[in-house]
């Protein structure tokens, strides 16, 4: 039995598959990934299923694949450093950008009310639907298909990331701003030790605030060690 037009996404399934770079053997699982609970509620009794359980599955698949890829790509990083990269890649901010890149909002099944109130642009709806898409790819094609899909989506970031800059960020500026807001003077940084041979040296840096040691950290360069010390000092302020 043919479904009424209102139950289908705005654009064709084939167009979305092209944008995703994946052809579904079972397009019904893709349709489910696009189905928001508001649509199911509006069509009560018509046996539609929302995407919430697929979102749960996709979240787990995404976490596993991303963890595997960044471990393989950066085997020398610490657990904490790997966790920071993973947290960025699976964050809502990253996922909503990926969802917008494939114009996912255009294809969603939403209730008329949700559609009229901007549901196709809502961050939470897009993120959940994107994770549901990953779950759908996994169910349709298995772990290899899901891995290939996630690899394509995050590959550019992993290929071009400046790992040290990404991990350490500009914590020095953040610490200076925080101290200024609290009425303290600017922090001072001093190298207190250099460990190891020249080709593999670690610099140990202390950050001092009002003549008191705020934090100490090490890094492969003085700048990296300063940023790490500033990050620890910021954490101490928060605690």
* Active-site amino acid positions: 59, 131
Whether 184 and 210 have beta carbons less than 8 Å apart is answered as yes
CA atoms within 13 A on the CB side of 204: 6
Q: How many CB atoms lie within 10 A of CB 124?
A: 10
Q: What is the 3-state secondary structure (H, E, C) of 31-71?
A: HHHCECHHHHHHCCCCCCCCCHHHHHHHHHHHHHHHHHHHH
**Centroid of chain to Cα 159:** 16
């Amino acid at each position: 039995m043919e479904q009424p037009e209102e139950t289908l996404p705005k654009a064709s399934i084939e167009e979305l598959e092209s944008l995703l770079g994946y052809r579904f053997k079972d397009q019904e699982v893709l349709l489910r990934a696009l189905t928001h609970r508001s649509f199911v509620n509006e069509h009560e009794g018509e046996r539609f299923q929302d995407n919430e359980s697929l979102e749960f599955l996709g979240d787990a698949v995404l976490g596993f694949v991303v963890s595997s890829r960044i471990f393989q790509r950066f085997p020398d990083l610490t657990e904490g450093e790997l966790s920071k990269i993973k947290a960025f890649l699976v964050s809502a901010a990253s996922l909503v950008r990926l969802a917008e890149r494939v114009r996912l909002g255009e294809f969603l099944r939403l209730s008329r009310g949700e559609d009229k109130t901007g549901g196709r642009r809502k961050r939470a709806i897009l993120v959940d639907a994107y994770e549901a898409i990953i779950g759908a790819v996994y169910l349709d094609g298995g772990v290899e298909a899901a891995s290939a899909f996630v690899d394509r989506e995050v590959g550019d970031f992993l290929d071009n990331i400046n790992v040290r800059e990404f991990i350490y960020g500009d914590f020095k500026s953040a610490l200076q701003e925080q101290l200024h807001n609290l009425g303290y003077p600017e922090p001072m940084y001093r190298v207190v030790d250099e460990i190891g041979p020249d080709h593999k040296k670690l610099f140990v840096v202390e950050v001092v605030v009002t003549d008191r040691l705020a934090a100490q950290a090490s890094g492969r360069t003085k700048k990296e060690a300063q940023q790490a010390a500033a990050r620890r000092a910021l954490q101490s302020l928060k605690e």
